[in-house]
Amino acid sequence: MNNIKKVAKYVAKHPDASPTATLLELAVALETGSGFSFTKLYELDHAEFVLAMGVIGDWRLDRHYMSKLRLLDHAEIGDQPSAL
């Protein structure tokens, strides 16, 4: 199960918990490119901290694959013969 799904399950089980707000804020910051205070990660318990690190890892891996796909898209466009 990927970490985003784990966060969703965590949020469903603990909707009013302090770590829930931090995990959601982290997810939004990663998706939107907005700021996030890393000191909030330090305030998490170990299990929630590991979950947050997993979310960051998944986000980074997704961005890596997306950049590869964009690179391939551009390479394919460059390889096509020009229309006459």
- How many domains would you assign to the chain? 1
What's the pLDDT tens digit per position in 20-77? Answer: 999 999 999 998 999 999 999 999 999 999 999 999 999 988 776 666 556 656 565 5
Say what the pTM is. 0.71
Q: Using the CB atoms, write b or e for 43-73: b if 16+ within 10 Å.
A: ebeeebeebbeebbebbeeeeeeeeeeeeee
In a domain, 84, yes or no: no
In a domain, 44, yes or no: yes
The H or E element containing residue 69 is helix 46-79
Domain with 45 in it: 3-77
DSSP class of 15: T
Alpha carbon distance 1, 43 (integer Å) = 25
